[in-house]
Structure 1
Amino acid sequence: MTHDVEDEHAAPGWDAIDAALSLLYPGVEPRHVGYLPPAAFSANLQGCSSYPAAGHWHYVTYGLSELYTPGPDDDREWSGWGFELTLRVVRGSEDEAPGWPFTVLNHLANFINGQGVLVEDGHRMDLRQPVTGHPHTDGPDTGLTVFAFTVDPQLDTIDTPNGKVTFYQAVGVTPEEKTRMQQASTRQVLDQMTGSNPLLVTDPARA
C-alpha cells in the first residue's frame, strides 16, 4: 500500500512498514482502516491493514511504533514501543477482510498504550471473553479467549529510519492451551501447534 500523506509531515516509519509488506504481498492492495481520534491524540492505533494471504487474512497495525519523524529525545534504537501487532485470521468465501480484527487489535493497542505494556515473544493476554470481541463486534462466538504472542513468522523485525520494529503476532488459544503454556511454556505449545498450522492462523471455529 502506498501511504497517502495528508499533511506536511513525513512518515518514514509508516513507509518502512509498507515497504516490508510490499515485499511479502507485491502488487496487493490491502483493506485499510483508520481510527478516530488517531494515535497522536489518543491511545488508538493510527491505522490497520489487512492483506489476503493463502487461506487467511493477515492484519498489521500502524501506530505502536513511531510512524512520523521522531523527536530529538526519542530512542533511535527502537521505534516507539518497538513493535507492531499482527493477526492472521482464517479466510472463508468472503471477498473482504472481516471487520472485527480491526476492532480487536485497536482494543489491544489501547490496553498497551494505557497500561504501558511491552509485548514480547511468549507473552499472553487472557481476555476472559472471545478473542473475536463477540458479542460486541461482528466477530463469531468462539472458545478462544486468550491471545499468545510470538514473532510474526514472515515479518519478524525490520529496520526503519526511526529504529527497529518487531512484529508480534497475536494467536488465539483456548483456556486449556493457556494452562499447558503455564505448565510448560508458551513457545513449546505454539511450536506444537505449528505442526498443523505453520503460520499460526487464528480460526475461531476450532473452539
Structure 2
Amino acid sequence: MMWDAVTEALGRLYPQSQPWHVSFPPGGADLRAGSVYPADGHWHYVSYGLGSRWGVELTFRLRRGSEVQPPQWPFVLLNRVAGYANGLPERLEEGQWMDVRGPITGFPHTDGADTGLTVLILAVDPQLGERFLQLVGVTAAEANGDADIDDDPLLVTDPSRV
C-alpha cells in the first residue's frame, strides 16, 4: 500500500482533523513514518512503511485523556511490531497475537505509564478495513481466554483500565 492510499483513507475518516506526523531516519527504524489523528475519545495512530512489503499498515487506537498532544510511545510500539513483522516469512494476519513481555506502553523507557496490558492482538481496523491491521492491547489473562475482553466496537486500547 502506498503512502497516498494511507493518507487518503485516514483523510476520509477524519476530514476536519489535523494529524501529527513523525518520521524515522532511513535504516534507523523499521517504519518510515507514522501519523496520529485526534478522534472522538481516542487517538488513532497509523504506520507508513509496511505496505510496500506486506500490503497492510498498522493502526492503534489509544484512549484519549486530557492531553492536548498525543503520547509518543505508540510510535515506538508500532515500530517494534513492524520490526517483528519484517522478520517474518509471511505477513501478519488478523487474530495473531504477541506477548511483548512487558507493558505495551514501553514503561519505564518511554513516556507511557505502567500498565498490565502486555499482549497485542491483531484485528482488522473496524473503520479502515482489511488493508489496516489494528493493534489491540490486552492482558495476558484476556489473551489466554481466562478473562473477558471489553466489547468496544472500535477496539480502543485503554492502558489505565488494569
TM-score by length of 1: 0.73
Q: CA deviation at 1:25?
A: 0.4
Q: Could you tell me which residue of structure 1 aligns to residue 47 of structure 2?
A: 61
Name the counterpart of 1:46.
Answer: 32
Tell me how far 1:117 sits from its aligned partner: 5.2
Question: SS of the counterpart of 2:35?
Answer: strand
Percent identical: 53
Change (3 A) 1:108 1:30: same
- Residue 111 of structure 1 aligns to which amino acid in structure 2? Y
Contact 1:48 1:59 (8 Å CA) reproduced: yes
Q: 1:35 — aligned with what?
A: 24
Moved more, 109-118 or 45-54: 109-118
Partner of 1:89, secondary structure, is strand
The two structures, once aligned, show a CA RMSD in angstroms of 1.8
**Does the aligned pair in 2 maintain the 1:57–1:90 contact within 8 Å?**
yes
CA distance in 1, matches of 2:117, 2:42: 17
Q: How many residue pairs end up in the alignment?
A: 162
Unmatched 5+ stretches in structure 2: none
TM-score (norm 2): 0.93
Structure 1's unaligned 5+ residue stretches are: 1-11, 67-79, 158-165, 182-188
Aligned counterparts of 1:19 and 1:169: Cα–Cα separation in 2? 17
Deviations, residues 117-158 of structure 1 (Å, cap 9, x unaligned): 52111100011100111111111100000000100000003x
Counting only pairs closer than 5 Å after superposition, residues 11-26 of structure 1 correspond to structure 2 as 13-26=2-15
Shift of 1:114: 2.7
Say if 2:128 is the partner of 1:178.
Answer: no
Are 1:139 and 2:112 matched, yes or no? Answer: yes
SS in 1 for 2:51: coil
- Report the 3-state secondary structure (helix = DSSP H, G, I; strand = E; otherwise coil) of the residue aligned with 1:128: coil
**Who is 2:159 aligned against?**
204
Larger radius of gyration between Structure 1 and Structure 2: 1
Deviation at 1:34, TM superposition (A): 0.4
Distance 1:105 1:59, change over 3 A: same
Which whole-Å deviations, capped at 9, do the CAs of 1:11-54 have from their partners, x for residues lacking one?
A: x81111111111100032101000112xxx46510101000001
